[in-house]
Amino acid sequence: MQRARRGFINYLRIECGLLPATIEAYARDLEHLMIELNEQGISAPTATTPEALIGHVRTMSSERGYNASTISRHLATIKVFFRWMLATGQIDDNPADYLDQPTKWKRLPGVLTPSQVRKLLEAPQAPEKPTKGMPPLWMRDRAILELMYASGLRASEVGQIGLIDIMEKIGVVRVLGKGDKQRLVPMGKPAQRALERYLKECRPMLITAERAAERRDKGKLFLSRTGKPIERVRVWQIVKHWAKRAGLPKTYPHMLRHSFATHLLAGGADLRIVQELLGHSDITTTQIYTHVDRSSLHKTVRTLHPRG
């Protein structure tokens, strides 16, 4: 089973050309599946039964408490995996054919208010007693938060931005999104100022002469303390850390992206423009943000309705 898993991951990487984050999600889902199958004494693809897969799905819902969206992603992974094994002749029958997708509902995304966003963006500050010789990582963190909100970035996109993707003269950043789809998004003056300071005062300290010779930074914009491109997990930690310092509960990276879209629409931006800025291929994905902020709708009714 593990050999089949490795072959499938190589197929996704080499033949499908999926992004590392997508491949990682597939690998993680399959690892969870195989742990449960092993507990049932199933170690070979041909021994996998529809009942075993159905039991796995029930466990995700009843014991782990996964929501419908997460379960749907797991199911998609399982279906693609067993479809690939059938196509490559590793199994004669596809046990995943019996799995049905759970009903998916639209969950309104969590959104920060403009004042909460301001608190979060202003949270990174120089420590009262900075350590001599240590890079001012708070400048990097401030630049990351500013850019995520200004340009609607996903956490996975932050580490992919290269130095050549920052177009300072026109105030635009080039972003590589899902499916290797590129988009150009304005940065805004505050984000540009934060980036300029980070590039001038922090990033050079993260690249010593030794690291520069090794090219550990790989030309990426945001770097870790060790001079390597920052990872998605670290972006999560940065957002959670400064949100806690700002007194904001239950804040995660995607909330900045949700807030970016919601605040644009509340300010009168066209839905198609927001779709383009977010990199959504389907406008129905963007439409969920029209249900988040009702302030403009209420204002319109009060102003224009004869009995408002």
Active site residue: 73, 193, 228, 254, which one? 254
Active site residue: 5, 216, 234, 257, which one? 257
User: Does the annotation count 241 as an active-site position?
Assistant: no
User: Does the annotation count 252 as an active-site position?
Assistant: no
User: Does the annotation count 220 as an active-site position?
Assistant: no
Output Rg (C-alpha) for the chain, integer angstroms.
23
Active site residue: 26, 149, 198, 289, which one? 289
Do 90 and 1 form a contact (C-beta atoms < 8 A)?
no
Do 140 and 134 form a contact (C-beta atoms < 8 A)?
no
Tokens encoding 235 = 């972006």
Do 45 and 4 form a contact (C-beta atoms < 8 A)?
yes
Active site residue: 5, 140, 216, 280, which one? 280
Active site residue: 178, 193, 228, 240, which one? 178
Residue 53: other Cβ atoms inside 10 A: 22
In three-state form (DSSP H/G/I as H, E/B as E, the rest C), the secondary structure along 227-290 is CCECCHHHHHHHHHHHHHHCCCCCCCHHHHHHHHHHHHHHCCCCHHHHHHHHCCCCHHHHHHHH
Q: Which of 171, 179, 130 is nearest to 154 (CA)?
A: 179
Residue 162: other Cβ atoms inside 10 A: 15
Active site residue: 5, 142, 154, 216, which one? 154
User: Does the annotation count 254 as an active-site position?
Assistant: yes
User: Does the annotation count 298 as an active-site position?
Assistant: no
User: Does the annotation count 257 as an active-site position?
Assistant: yes
Do 74 and 35 form a contact (C-beta atoms < 8 A)?
no
Q: Which residues are catalytic?
A: 154, 178, 254, 257, 280, 289
